[in-house]
Amino acid sequence: MPIETLITIAVIFGAIQGFAGGLVYVERKICAFMQNRIGPNRVGPLGLLQVLADGMKFMMKEEFVPHYADKVLFILAPTIGMIAAMLCFAVVPFGPTGNPNDPAYADTYQFVMAKNIDIGILFVFAVSSLNVYGIILGGWASNNKYSLIGGLRSSAQIISYEIPLGLSILGVVLMTGSLNLERIIWHQTAHPWNIFYQPLAFLLFMISAFAECNRLPFDLPETEQELVGGYHTEYNAMKLAFFFIGEYTHMITSSFLMVIIFFGGWHFPFIADADSWVGLKLIVFLTKMFLFIIFFMLVRWTIPRFRFDQLMALAWKVFIPMALVNLVAVMFVKEFAGDHLWILTIVSLAVLVGAGLITTAPVKKVQGVSV
Amino acid sequence: MPILETEVRWVKPPTLGLLDRLYLPAIAEGLSTTIKHVFQPKVTQQFPEERPDLPANYRGLHRLNRDADGRAKCVACFMCSTACPAHCIDIVAAPSPWPDREKYPEMFVIDELRCIYCGMCEQACPCDAIELTSMFDLTGVSRAEMMFDKEKLLSVFDQTAGVGKDPVRTKAGALSCASEPNV
């Protein structure tokens, strides 16, 4: 088994970095198409070798460290960012996994690096939150005001959005009875996907994941217009590339998590069931994941950036209460509704509409000041 | 005079309904707009292969027009170099060897790096001898190379004559023969 695991780690480590490079190309193409442009098309057929050209450029560039920067932390920051992002992936299944309750599960090959980890989701959240160290250390070590502001914003943002991110998933954990990601997939092969029962949780999780990945509309740490480049203003060459690989790896992990937790992983009714061919399951899984990545990119070039106070208000005043209400709703339905889980779908949507209704209620005027 | 009370129009911000407050329909609308653009025809011009279709009044590189006999039409009157705000035209006049004019430019140099492409030289020219063409991608490896002398400016005429874009501003043939008699 260790040999298999080592090979898997080596393959996935390389594949993710290659895929992250490929995503840069996809992102540029999508951006271009949305703006009625063609996008990269000079290097190789359809510009496909652009990825290699970009990678070469990053590697050939002069490694420059500003003399006023804290050298050790300056180099450590992108390393932490990338390691944290890569480490997350250890427990995330990237292909079909069998029945975790099967005694033979531990002896057969599964498409996950560390299989049957019972703290799966906790591990992902714990490690991915280390990413903020990379960003804030990078911002601080650069000894530059723009970088520092970017780092500060990032720490506030990531810490705030981790709460709704975790809370929204607790409902799913309650339903499944496990934090183990393989078990969550297996649970959905026998039951309808979690998205049907908990659409609100999915919405909260997805939007929080956008914020966690520093993607637009939540890319406050690196707003070009106000902060030059944010926390990576002073970075260049491979160190900058590390930050970007970390960011894209985060995006890949988030997409995998959304598919695993809410969209049944490799399962697809009538196409990929428990006894289908492995390759088919793999294709279904990766297609789902890739669709989410495309969605990430579509949103990036569609929705304008939030203001920072709006960003914080959204997390603390909207998402956290909604996630809590959602969690309570799941508890009640699970306790009292028995097998009528469809009630949960209705309750979930009712919470969303209710939250909307609260904000549309007429505003009370207190001495001419609206509250 | 102060603004009348009746003329003041008060505008209130629209009140957001439930759907507006959920923001999801707005996001879906935005996404549908951007996705629609993905399938629209592209507007990119592949520059070196595809040349832009410049408007007829584009002001690019200069040319010295030839008359029907192939001679430079310029009569070395110095109107263009006087009009030039960048002082980039340098003319040396000499007595003309031909009976139909008194002077001709023995030397006619335009510093294309100093030129601001304002087009005042062609407006000043009394016999439509200098014109701006639609050539815009002039490059050189030295400053000396960008000093366009008479031969170079006449060769620009040979390249651009008959393209159909030039001349457009000068009254061709009003004071002397037309710049492009065949067009």
Which residues does B contribute to its contact with A (CB < 8 Å)? 16-19, 21-22, 27, 30-31, 33-35, 37-38, 40-44, 46
Chain A residue numbers touching B42 (CB-CB < 8 A):
33, 36-38
Residue A244 inside a domain? The answer is yes
DSSP of chain B: -PPPGGG----PPPPP-HHHHH-HHHHHHHHHHHHHHHTSPP----TTTS-----TT---SEEEPB-TTSSB------HHHHH-TT--EEEEEEE-SSTT-SEEEEEEEEETTT-----HHHHH-TTS-EEE-S------SSTGGGEE-HHHHHHHHHHHTTSSS--SSS-TTSSSS-SSTT-
Give the neighbor-by-neighbor strand order of the sheet with B103-111. Answer: B89-95, B103-111, B147-148
Residue A368 inside a domain? The answer is no
pLDDT digits (tens, 9 = 90+) for A231-273: 888 888 888 888 888 888 888 888 998 998 888 878 888 877 7
Distance CA A109, CA A84 (A): 25
Half-sphere exposure for A97 (CA within 13 Å, toward CB): 29
Q: Tell me which amino acid residue A348 is.
A: S
Measured in angstroms, the CA of B22 and the nearest CA of chain A are apart by: 5
- Which pLDDT belongs to residue B91? 92
Which domain does A256 fall in, by range? 2-363
Tokens matching residue B137: 């991608």
Is the confidence at residue A222, as pLDDT, over 80? no
Neighbour-count burial for A25-62, b at 16+ CB within 10 Å, e otherwise: bbbbbbbbbbeeebbbbeeeeebeebbeebbeebeeee
Residue B31 inside a domain? The answer is no
Per-residue pLDDT for chain B (183 aa), expressed as one digit of tens each? 788 888 888 888 887 777 877 888 888 998 999 999 889 888 888 888 888 888 777 888 888 888 777 888 888 888 999 999 999 999 999 998 888 888 889 999 999 999 999 988 888 888 888 888 888 888 889 999 899 988 888 888 888 776 666 555 444 545 555 555 544
Residue A369 inside a domain? The answer is no
Residue B139 inside a domain? The answer is yes
3-state secondary structure of A44: coil
Lowest mean pLDDT among A14-23, A97-106, A142-151, A359-368: A359-368
Chain A residue numbers touching B48 (CB-CB < 8 A):
none
Chain A residue numbers touching B12 (CB-CB < 8 A):
none
> Maximum Cα–Cα distance for chain A, whole Å?
73
pLDDT digits (tens, 9 = 90+) for A54-81: 888 888 888 888 888 888 888 888 888 8
Closest partner residue to A302 (CB to CB) among B19, B34, B44 is B34
Summarize the confidence of residues A332-353 as an average pLDDT. 82
Contacts of A26 (CB under 8 A, 6+ apart): A293, A294, A297
Chain A residue numbers touching B19 (CB-CB < 8 A):
356
Residue A371 inside a domain? The answer is no
Considering only CA atoms, which of A275, A297, A278, A274 is closest in space to residue A286? A278
Half-sphere exposure for A365 (CA within 13 Å, toward CB): 2
Residue B33 inside a domain? The answer is no
Tokens matching residue B148: 């366009």
CATH number, residue B90? 3.30.70.3270
ipTM of the complex: 0.75
Distance CA A53, CA A65 (A): 23
Q: Tell me which amino acid residue A163 is.
A: I
Distance CA A306, CA A219 (A): 8
pTM of the model as a whole:
0.79
Instruction: Note whether B31 contacts A37, CB cutoff 8 Å.
Output: no
Into how many domains does chain B fold? Answer: 1
pLDDT digits (tens, 9 = 90+) for A115-165: 778 888 888 888 888 888 888 888 888 888 888 888 888 888 888 888 898
- Tell me if chain B has a CB within 8 Å of the CB of A302: yes
Considering only CA atoms, which of A214, A191, A241 is closest in space to residue A20? A241
Is the confidence at residue A42, as pLDDT, over 50? yes
Element (H, E) at A315: none
User: What mean pLDDT, rounded, does chain A reach?
Assistant: 84
Distance set, CA A362 to CA A352, A356, B17, B19 (Å) = 18, 12, 11, 15
Measured in angstroms, the CA of A356 and the nearest CA of chain B are apart by: 5
Distance CA A41, CA A28 (A): 11
Summarize the confidence of residues A296-310 as an average pLDDT. 86
pLDDT digits (tens, 9 = 90+) for A354-370: 888 887 776 665 665 55
Chain A residue numbers touching B47 (CB-CB < 8 A):
none
- Which pLDDT belongs to residue A1? 57
Residue B43 inside a domain? The answer is no
Residue A370 inside a domain? The answer is no
Instruction: Note whether B40 contacts A36, CB cutoff 8 Å.
Output: yes
Q: CA dihedral defined by A318, A321, A325, A331, rounded to 10 degrees?
A: 130
- Tell me if chain B has a CB within 8 Å of the CB of A46: no
Measured in angstroms, the CA of A198 and the nearest CA of chain B are apart by: 17
Residue B144 inside a domain? The answer is yes
Into how many domains does chain A fold? Answer: 1
Q: Please state, as a whole number, how many other Cβ atoms lie within 10 Å of the Cβ of residue A371.
A: 6
Distance CA A210, CA B154 (A): 62
The CB-based long-range contact list for A358-361 (8 Å cut-off, 24+ gap) reads: A359/B21, A360/B16, A360/B17, A360/B18, A360/B21
Residue B29 inside a domain? The answer is no
Q: Tell me which amino acid residue B177 is.
A: C
Chain A residue numbers touching B33 (CB-CB < 8 A):
302
Residue B183 inside a domain? The answer is no
